[in-house]
Amino acid sequence: MTDPAPDEPVLYTEPGSTWWPLLWGPLFAGVGAGVEALSGPVHAVAWTIVGLALFVIFVVWVNARRKVYVVTLTPSTLRQGRELFPVARIAKVTDVGAATGAKVLGGGWSVPRKTTALPLRLDDNSVVLAWAYYDEDLAAVLTRLVEPEEDRPVE
Residue-wise pLDDT tens digits, 69-110: 999 999 999 999 989 999 999 999 888 887 788 899 988 888
What mean pLDDT is reported for the chain? 88
Model confidence band, residue 8 (pLDDT cutoffs 50, 70, 90): confident
What confidence tier does 153 reach under pLDDT thresholds 50, 70, 90? low
Report, as an integer, the average pLDDT of 30-53.
94
User: Phi and psi at residue 4, in whole multiples of 5°?
Assistant: -65, 160
Contacts of 82 (CB under 8 A, 6+ apart): 67, 68, 106, 107
The two counts, helices (H) then strands (E), for the chain are 3, 8
Look at residue 155 in the predicted model and tell me its pLDDT.
57
pTM of the model: 0.76
CB neighbourhood size of 147 (10 A): 16
What's the gap between Cα 85 and its chain centre? 15
The predicted structure's pLDDT at residue 150:
56
Beta strand pairing call for 83-86 and 90-92: unpaired
pLDDT per residue as tens digits for the range 61-79: 999 988 889 999 999 999 9
Q: Is the pLDDT of residue 147 over 90?
A: no
**What is the pLDDT, as a whole number, of residue 111?**
87
Q: What percent of the chain has pLDDT over 90?
A: 61
The percent of residues above 70 in pLDDT, for the chain, comes to 92
The pLDDT assigned to 49 comes to 95
In the prediction, which pLDDT does 97 show?
Answer: 81
